[in-house]
Each structure stands twice: as C-alpha cells, then as structure tokens.
Amino acid sequence: MDPRANTLNRRLRSMGGRIMRRYHLLPGGMPDGLGDDADLQDEALYGDVIVYFADTMDSLYQMRGWYGPLKALHEAVGVTVVCMDSRVAATLRDEMDMPVVTVALDATLDGLIARSATKLILYVNYNPMNTAPLRSRSVVHVSLLHGDSDKGVSVSNQVKAYDFSFVAGQAAIDRFTAYTGLFDADSRCIPVGRPALDTDRIEDAAALEADRAAADGRHTVLYAPTWEGGQASVAYSSLVTHAPVLVRSLQAAGLRVIYRPHPLTGVRLPEYGAADAEVRELLAHGGHLVSSGRSLQRDFAAADLLICDVSAVANDWLAGGRPMVITSVAHPGAQDAGTELLRRVPRLRSQDSTTAGSLALREIEQDPTREDRDRLREYYLGDTTPGASLERFLTACRDLMALRDRQWERIRRAEQPGGAEAR
C-alpha cells in the first residue's frame, strides 16, 4: 500500500474515533479517552500517590468503596486520581476532594510519572488497561481490589502483575497460598483489614432512627446479591435462581426486606435485569426498601441478618457480629473457595429458597453460629477496633513509599556508568 494512503487511513480512523468519543457513541464499558493530555505536557501530578482507574461509569462503585480511606491518605501524603474516561473524572471531581485527571495517551502518562514525585500507584481492580502505568519502574504498584471475598476472582493469577497486594486479613493470604500457584502470598500480601469500615461508620442518629421506624417492630433482612459476572466461572449471583421465591418467603415470615442490588445487575444478561425488576415489584409495598443511594454501612446498620451470595459483602458483614446466610452457587461453571467462612455459616440452596423465612427467623433469634463467626472475624479482617484498620492502611502505604525510595536509589545507582559493576 502507498505509505501516503496508509497515513490517510490512520488519520480517518483516528478522526472517526474522536467523533465517537466526543458524542458518547462508544460501546458500554469502553473509556472515552477524552483526556487532559494537551494540558498535561509540562505538568507534574500532585502528591506521592496515584490511584489509577481505567474503567467507565459502570464500575465506579469499585472506587466509591475506597473514598474514605483515600481521603485520609490524601490528607497524609497527597493523592491524584488518574482516569481514562472523562465522564468518570467529572463524577469523581464532584464526589472526591482531591485532584483528578484524564489521560488518554500512554506517552502522556509516562511523562507525568517521570516528572512527578509519585512513589506509589494503587489499583482497585484488575482491568487489563492497568498495564499502562505498570510499565513504570520508579514506583511501587499495589493492588487494592474493591473487596475481599471467597470468589474465584479473589485468587486470580493477575495478582502477580503487582508488587504487593493489600488484603483484609490472614484468610486472604491463606486463600492465595491454597489456590494460586507460583505466588509467595506471605511476602507479597500485606493485611490492612477493611479501612472503609472505619471511615464509613454511620454516625447519623436521625438516619438510624428513620430505619428503625421503617421496620415498625419487625426484624429486618438485608438481601444483597452480587451481579451475574463477566463469565460462567464467576456466576455467583442468586438473583435468577433464588431471589423471587426467597423474597416471598421472607415476607411471609413477617420480615422486613432491604434489597441492595449490585450496580452491574443485568448489564450482561437480560434475565438478571428481569429478576431484579420482579424483586423490586415484590418490595414495592409493605414498608420494604430497595436500597438506592444509600451506603453499604447504613444498610448494614439497619439489618438484623444478611443474606448474600459469595462476595465481599459477606466478609465485611463479619465485623458487626450479626448472623448471616450465604447462598449456594447454582451455576455449574462457578465454584467458590472451600474456606472457613463458607463452611461455618448456613448456606441456602436454590431449591430451598421457600424456607428462607424460617431460616432467617431461626438465625436471628437463636444465632447458632455466633461463636464460629466471632472466631473468624479476626482471621478475615484483623483487628476491628475502630480506627485500627485505617491506621494499618496508612502505615502500609508509608512503609511502601519508603521501600520505593530505597529501591529507586539502588536502581539509579546501577544505571550510572559502571554502576552495575560497583554494586
């Protein structure tokens, strides 16, 4: 092909891409790439830490779960959030009091990191586009993820891409050791608890009183299913297999239901959206609640029992000491880890959903697994004394920044003429 024609084709494709991005015509899940690159060519990023988020609005809940701890980290050392989607960046600027930039080009990102004092980059998911900042040798890369659970994704081989992984407790380290090959979990995983449980505590007395009044003397069950998952191996959701029958059983037992749908429910499989609509209709009357715009911690505070799928919600609920029921995975392609929590708490199979009401009442009134859960709390979450987890998170970040300084100085010496021989 004539090189000039090839150049013209590239320009036309680039122009077409810009038009699609500008008018939001990209497929769902694809960042718009409308970056601040032109304004960042000679700039440096604020602070010592980058939080890199390459996803779109659908996955913003993964960032929201870290708002509180990141605010505390920003106050301590300075944090800048780097996005690939301008819509996400605009929302984060409204919701977070810290710098947010959108970077579309790898060259822009490389230059920013080189000009900045960045020592640590944090990642809240395993997005394949995280490879752009992962190229940088001058920083320490840390996987946070957006929850600790017994899902298969929690032991993904992708963890090996990061220098370290912040995990909730010893349970996560043991999970990696048991289910991940060629990965030294003891040296690469740093337990920090769940710092959001410290920063997101509900202290609004009026809100708590409103929830108690809405219950009208009834016990309240929080039903929090996960989404359908990106592939069959992570299809943990009970929404299609359990939910309508489960909710009717809870209502028949005289229980108030708070339904907390996952933000991604129905984005991939329409039958999950249909099941979500059916549950919403069932809860439209009788003082029940579909949780929208409420924090997870407020829903936790309002409930006497949690029914959830294999997910991070179950692990976070442990901190409160109240009973829970975890659904059994019905999809033949999905498997959960054979962990202590899943062995100790009651499991609800899809064919037993009609008994959900009587099971919930028994667990609330008798709580036969309380001692088992109490023993597991520290194993999964570490010290749950208020403030302890947040302090561990901040200390771990500072320690890794100090480690980065030592390692980067060693690398720079090695890169000097004769440096490698001088070591």
pLDDT reported for residue 419: 76
- Amino acid at position 332, single letter: P
pLDDT reported for residue 28: 54
Q: Binning pLDDT at 50, 70 and 90, where does residue 331 land?
A: confident
CA distance 215 to 305: 13
- Amino acid at position 401, single letter: M
Instruction: Share the mean pLDDT of the chain.
Output: 92
The residue among 412, 416, 421, 393 whose CA lies nearest residue 120 is: 393
Residue 23 in this model has a pLDDT that exceeds 70: no
CA distance 144 to 344: 27
Token output for 17: 């891409």
- Residue range 138-164: mean pLDDT, rounded: 93
Residue 27 in this model has a pLDDT that exceeds 80: no
Q: Binning pLDDT at 50, 70 and 90, where does residue 21 land?
A: very low
- Residue range 5-34: mean pLDDT, rounded: 55
Terminal C-alpha separation, the chain = 51
Residue 395 in this model has a pLDDT that exceeds 80: yes
Residue 326 in this model has a pLDDT that exceeds 50: yes
Q: Which of the pair, 155 or 399, is modelled with greater confidence?
A: 399
- Residue range 229-252: mean pLDDT, rounded: 93
Residue 345 in this model has a pLDDT that exceeds 90: yes
pLDDT reported for residue 336: 75
Sign for the pseudo-dihedral over CA of 239, 245, 246, 250: positive
Sheet containing 305-308: give its strands across. 289-290, 256-259, 220-224, 305-308, 324-327, 347-348
153-157, 217-221, 320-324, 368-372: least confidently modelled range: 153-157
pLDDT in tens, 67-104: 999 999 999 999 999 999 999 999 999 999 999 999 99
Q: pTM for this structure?
A: 0.91
pLDDT reported for residue 203: 76
pLDDT in tens, 402-423: 999 999 999 999 999 887 654 5
Can you give the three-state secondary structure of the chain, one letter per residue? CCHHHHHHHHHHHHHHHHHHHHCCCCCCCCCCCCCCHHHCCCCCCCCCEEEEECCCHHHCHHHHCCHHHHHHHHHHHCEEEEECCHHHHHHHHHHCCCCEEECCCHHHHHHHHHHCCCCEEEECCCCHHHHHHHCCCCCEEEECCCCCCCCHHHHCHHHHHCCEEEECCHHHHHHHHHHCCCCCHHHHEEECCCCHHHHCCCCCHHHHHHHHHHHCCCCEEEEECCCCCCCHHHCCCCCCCCHHHHHHHHHHCCCEEEECCCCCCCCCCHHHHHHHHHHHHHCCCCCCEECCCCCHHHHHHHCCEEEECCCHHHHHHHHHCCCEEEECCCCCCCCCCCCHHHHHCCEECHHHHHHHHHHHHHHHHHCCCHHHHHHHHHHHHCCCCCCHHHHHHHHHHHHHHHHHHHHHHHHHHHHCCCHHHHC
CB 127 within 8 A of CB 162: no
In the chain, % of residues over pLDDT 70? 92
pLDDT reported for residue 233: 80
CA distance 50 to 42: 18
Q: Binning pLDDT at 50, 70 and 90, where does residue 310 land?
A: very high
Sign for the pseudo-dihedral over CA of 23, 25, 28, 34: negative
Residue 17 in this model has a pLDDT that exceeds 70: no
